[in-house]
């Protein structure tokens, strides 16, 4: 979230799209209820299904899965055409006035630089035009035909209301009604929040859907303000913490990135990330990358990380390609992976194409499961009848099951969607022989280190030199880890302004990332968490709910990254002179000598606004980008591409370019492409999702949840039910080109057939929660059906839109 849960109460308009907050986040949804009850807010829900969120919405509109960019792109065109944009905001705080290189082009769904063989782009033309002074050329009048404003307008001119109706199936009157409501928040006194989740991320163009939403919010001046923002609702209690700590295969903690194979040179690695400002007097905060990186390396390798060895840069792997989940399972299916450790992960259930997963896991020599529950993955070898029809005699994989504690059986911090690190204390001791993940990983590490120490091996240094300064080497305490990722001074730190003063003594915890240095004198395992456990103690354990301004800014409750800031980009809530756009909901402001207010300013604290420093300090431009430059795989502006399994077989936006039907820059493995189905054979559009009554594949092990939602079902509309001849409560077989499931048919008015480009398209809703372990009725894993293709940037699988055929079972 750019903002936070409580802040939703400040919204005048709530758009839930690409998510179902009432269903998946009922506790957080209370703030939507609050906005409606006490702020007269209206709620809009756009979703393929009439959801639990829709049940309390003021306006609902259906949409075909996977076409959100068309709906939002049309909205962008509408806002530009009707001048419903917050002009002072966009001219000053975004790149609309920036001039783009002449070589940049877009034709028939493809941007300049496309290489069809590699399915990727040469992005060199995707950039701004630089002037002689080295800074980007701009045209504040927005008249230049090559400025971002002109290109944006031109790009989305094709996204007309008629096109939206044709592609999305959303009735035009509904579309225009919703656009009009949204446009009403272009004024500084009205705020809209966007709440989204996996309904946007789980598409082959998911990242670009989210970007389109963010662009709408920028045009309306809704980023950085109370009641606004782009708010990603995270699906696990600590999945925000997972990404923050860099548990993606290409990341390091704090959104630093692993070097790639070509980056063997340390200085070049840093220079590429510590970007120089692209406009005069911009902060370009990533210029501090070296300080964050060196402090991180000191946290991991301690005294072994020195200036001479570039802080252990050679210890880091250099990626030849991304090793995301889909890539790893592809390698596994090719027999190139011998062993696999599943830590809190149930890939047989959670990864696409169960048949491929089954075959891949069977090629492993060993599989280690760390989980509190008996997951399907841990029993992938067991014949569970129709639900897992495998022959155990043919599977030689050795499976080790290590029971772990669950979150309620351990102390630690969970980072929620609001970016709050909230310390918690265990509620019970773990049962039986269960051990915490910390103990298991520590045990594994100490044994590996011993083996390397005694037997040697290829390049043992990163293992032997890893700093391991915990009181109990076999069981590091959560408090020790928290202090480590927050960070401390390794030497006495002199005041940069007065070298006779010491600001931090050696060993003292640091107050924040501004104290980090790149000379090896500071240590911080995750720079964005720096200060969470500061000189005064564990700030994550704070439970002060006082809200002095009444706008939900409880800044002494727990601790929020970065720097305990609650609303990101909050400098943008003020006009260029530093006065709040909306004094009623003031977050921060300039008082003539400093920035301050209800939040921690997301800005240089003493920067006079007259200097023109932009509010988006992480970008070298200082402003937000409509034009993504080279940051995205498929292009600087989001463009609609069909799901890889499309019911239309063509892209109505770019009908004459077969290479631009589906995401031209998405990675697709050969076997997975061959497993795609066609609309002729599988005419119905399927989408998978979660239900309130369950949490993923966990709670089917819990009797209470199983009582509430005991048996697998699929949701189909009345028209499709009639077509296939099934009654409500009867059974249907749903097949894709990869497998099938059989489930109870829930025939509902909540899913309607849509008219897409003149023909009828049915949507099939597939809740995911059932499997062959647990106390709920056994069912099929929903991912028996789903295709293996990920988003072009994040590789998140396309679980939200694929093709199936529904038959009476």
138 vs 709, beta carbon nearer other proteins: 709
Cα–Cα distance measured from residue 422 to residue 538, given in angstroms and rounded to the nearest whole number = 10
Cα–Cα distance measured from residue 69 to residue 205, given in angstroms and rounded to the nearest whole number = 9
Q: Which residues pair with 96 in a beta bridge?
A: none
Q: Provide the total of helices (H) and of strands (E) in the chain, helices listed first.
A: 22, 33
- CA neighbor of 330 nearest in space, from 642, 645, 673: 673
* Dihedral angle over CA of 175, 180, 181, 186, nearest 10: 130
Give the nearest distance from C-beta 276 to other proteins in angstroms. Answer: 48
596 vs 729, beta carbon nearer other proteins: 729
- Report helix, strand or coil for 687: strand
Please, where are the H alpha helices in 122-168? 148-156, 161-168
Give the nearest distance from C-beta 743 to other proteins in angstroms. Answer: 8
- CA neighbor of 74 nearest in space, from 629, 634, 640: 640
- CA neighbor of 124 nearest in space, from 116, 114, 133: 114
Give the nearest distance from C-beta 419 to other proteins in angstroms. Answer: 21
Give the nearest distance from C-beta 474 to other proteins in angstroms. Answer: 37
Cα–Cα distance measured from residue 57 to residue 509, given in angstroms and rounded to the nearest whole number = 47
Q: Given the structure tokens 């509620």, which residue do they identify?
A: 427
| Residues at the interface with other proteins (CB under 8 A) | 22-23, 26-27, 29-30, 33-34, 36-37, 40, 42, 50, 52-56, 58, 60, 692-693, 703-704, 706-713, 727-730, 744-750, 775-777
Cα–Cα distance measured from residue 332 to residue 327, given in angstroms and rounded to the nearest whole number = 9
54 vs 223, beta carbon nearer other proteins: 54
Give the nearest distance from C-beta 691 to other proteins in angstroms. Answer: 9
169 vs 277, beta carbon nearer other proteins: 169
Give the nearest distance from C-beta 367 to other proteins in angstroms. Answer: 30
Query: Distance between alpha carbon 667 and the CA centroid of its chain, in Å?
Result: 19
Cα–Cα distance measured from residue 221 to residue 232, given in angstroms and rounded to the nearest whole number = 18
Cα–Cα distance measured from residue 123 to residue 125, given in angstroms and rounded to the nearest whole number = 6
Give the nearest distance from C-beta 748 to other proteins in angstroms. Answer: 7
Element holding 350 (H helix, E strand) = helix 347-350
642 vs 715, beta carbon nearer other proteins: 715
492 vs 727, beta carbon nearer other proteins: 727
Please, where are the H alpha helices in 520-567? none
Give the nearest distance from C-beta 371 to other proteins in angstroms. Answer: 22
344 vs 710, beta carbon nearer other proteins: 710
Give the nearest distance from C-beta 380 to other proteins in angstroms. Answer: 24
Cα–Cα distance measured from residue 516 to residue 509, given in angstroms and rounded to the nearest whole number = 11
* Cβ atoms of residues 183 and 192 within 8 Å: no
Q: Given the structure tokens 């265990």, which residue do they identify?
A: 426
Give the nearest distance from C-beta 411 to other proteins in angstroms. Answer: 24
* Cis previous bond, 562, omega within 30: yes
| List of residues 6+ apart from 546 with CB closer than 8 A | 554, 556
326 vs 746, beta carbon nearer other proteins: 746
- Report helix, strand or coil for 509: strand
Give the nearest distance from C-beta 26 to other proteins in angstroms. Answer: 4
Cα–Cα distance measured from residue 85 to residue 530, given in angstroms and rounded to the nearest whole number = 37
DSSP E strand boundaries for 271-345: 339-343
13 vs 76, beta carbon nearer other proteins: 13
Q: Which residues pair with 804 in a beta bridge?
A: 684
Give the nearest distance from C-beta 116 to other proteins in angstroms. Answer: 44
Angle between helices 172-183 and 68-81 (to 10 degrees): 60
Give the nearest distance from C-beta 693 to other proteins in angstroms. Answer: 6
The pairing of strands 713-717 and 739-748 is: parallel
Q: Which residues pair with 138 in a beta bridge?
A: 98
Give the nearest distance from C-beta 700 to other proteins in angstroms. Answer: 10
600 vs 744, beta carbon nearer other proteins: 744
Cα–Cα distance measured from residue 566 to residue 599, given in angstroms and rounded to the nearest whole number = 6
């Amino acid at each position: 979230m750019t903002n936070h849960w409580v802040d939703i109460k400040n919204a005048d308009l709530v758009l839930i799209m690409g998510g179902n907050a009432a269903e998946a986040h009922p506790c957080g949804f209370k703030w939507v209820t609050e906005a409606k009850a006490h702020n007269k807010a209206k709620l809009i829900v756009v979703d393929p299904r009439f959801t639990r969120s829709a049940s309390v919405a003021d306006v609902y509109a259906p949409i075909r899965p996977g076409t959100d960019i068309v709906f939002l792109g049309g909205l962008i065109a509408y806002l530009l055409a009707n001048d419903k944009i917050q002009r002072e905001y966009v001219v000053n705080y975004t790149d609309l006035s920036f001039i783009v290189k002449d070589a940049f082009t877009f034709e028939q769904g493809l941007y300049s630089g496309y290489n069809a063989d590699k399915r990727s782009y040469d992005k060199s033309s995707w950039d701004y035009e630089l002037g002689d002074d080295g800074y980007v050329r701009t045209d504040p009048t927005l008249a230049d035909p090559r400025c971002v404003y002109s290109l944006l307008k031109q790009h989305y001119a094709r996204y007309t209301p008629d096109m939206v109706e044709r592609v999305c199936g959303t009735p035009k009157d509904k579309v225009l009604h919703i656009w009009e409501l949204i446009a009403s928040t272009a004024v500084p006194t009205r705020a809209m929040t966007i709440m989204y989740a996996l309904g946007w991320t789980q598409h082959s163009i998911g990242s670009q859907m989210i970007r389109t939403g963010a662009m709408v919010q920028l045009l309306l001046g809704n980023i950085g303000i109370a009641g606004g923002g782009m708010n990603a609702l995270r699906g696990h209690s600590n999945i925000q913490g997972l990404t923050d700590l860099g548990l993606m295969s290409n990341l390091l903690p704090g959104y630093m990135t692993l070097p790639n194979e070509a980056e063997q040179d340390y200085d070049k690695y840093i220079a590429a990330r510590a970007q120089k400002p692209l406009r005069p007097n911009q902060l370009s905060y990533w210029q501090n990358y070296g300080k964050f990186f060196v402090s991180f390396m000191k946290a991991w390798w301690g005294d072994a990380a020195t200036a001479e060895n570039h802080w252990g840069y050679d210890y880091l792997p250099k990626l030849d390609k991304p090793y995301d989940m889909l890539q790893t399972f592809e390698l596994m299916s090719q027999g190139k992976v011998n062993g696999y450790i599943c830590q809190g992960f149930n890939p047989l259930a959670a990864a696409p194409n169960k048949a491929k997963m089954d075959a891949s896991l069977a090629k492993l020599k060993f599989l280690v499961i760390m989980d509190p529950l008996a997951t399907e993955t841990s029993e992938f070898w067991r014949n569970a009848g129709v639900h897992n029809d495998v022959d155990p005699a043919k599977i030689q994989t050795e499976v080790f099951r290590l029971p772990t504690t669950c979150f309620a059986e351990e102390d630690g911090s969970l980072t929620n969607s609001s970016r709050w690190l909230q310390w918690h204390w265990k509620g019970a001791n773990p049962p039986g022989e269960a051990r915490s993940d910390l103990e298991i990983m520590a045990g594994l590490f100490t044994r590996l280190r011993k083996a390397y120490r005694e037997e040697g091996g290829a390049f043992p240094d990163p293992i032997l030199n890893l700093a391991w300064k915990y009181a109990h080497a076999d069981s590091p305490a959560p408090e020790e880890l928290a202090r480590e990722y927050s960070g401390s001074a390794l030497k006495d730190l002199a005041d940069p302004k007065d070298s006779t003063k010491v600001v931090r003594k050696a060993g003292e915890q640091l107050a924040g990332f501004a104290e980090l240095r790149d000379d090896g004198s500071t240590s911080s395992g995750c720079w964005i968490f720096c200060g969470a456990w500061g000189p005064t103690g564990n700030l994550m354990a704070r439970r002060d709910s006082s809200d002095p301004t009444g706008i939900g800014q409880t800044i002494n409750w727990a601790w929020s990254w970065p720097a305990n800031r609650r609303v990101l980009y909050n400098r943008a809530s003020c006009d260029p002179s530093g006065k709040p756009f909306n004094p009623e909901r003031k977050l921060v402001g300039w008082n003539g000598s400093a920035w301050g207010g209800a939040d921690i300013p997301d800005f240089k604290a003493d920067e006079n606004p007259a200097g023109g420093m932009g509010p988006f300090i992480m970008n070298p431009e200082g402003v937000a980008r409509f034009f993504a430059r080279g940051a995205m795989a498929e292009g600087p502006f989001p463009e609609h591409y069909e799901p890889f399994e499309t019911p239309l077989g063509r892209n109505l936006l770019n009908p004459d370019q077969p290479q631009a039907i589906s995401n031209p820059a998405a990675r697709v493995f050969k076997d997975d492409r061959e497993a795609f189905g066609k609309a002729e054979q599988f005419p119905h559009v399927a989408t998978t999702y979660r239900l309130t009554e369950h949490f993923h594949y966990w709670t089917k092990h819990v009797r209470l949840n199983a009582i509430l939602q005991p048996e697998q079902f699929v949701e189909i509309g009345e028209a499709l039910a009639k077509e296939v001849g099934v009654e409500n409560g009867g059974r249907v077989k749903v097949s894709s080109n990869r497998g099938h499931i059989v489930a109870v048919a829930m025939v509902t008015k909540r899913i309607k057939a849509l008219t897409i480009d003149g023909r009828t398209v049915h949507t099939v809703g597939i809740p995911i929660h059932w499997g062959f372990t647990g106390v709920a009725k056994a069912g099929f894993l929903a991912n028996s059906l789903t295709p293996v293709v990920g988003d072009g940037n994040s590789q998140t699988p396309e679980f939200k839109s694929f093709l199936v055929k529904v038959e009476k079972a």
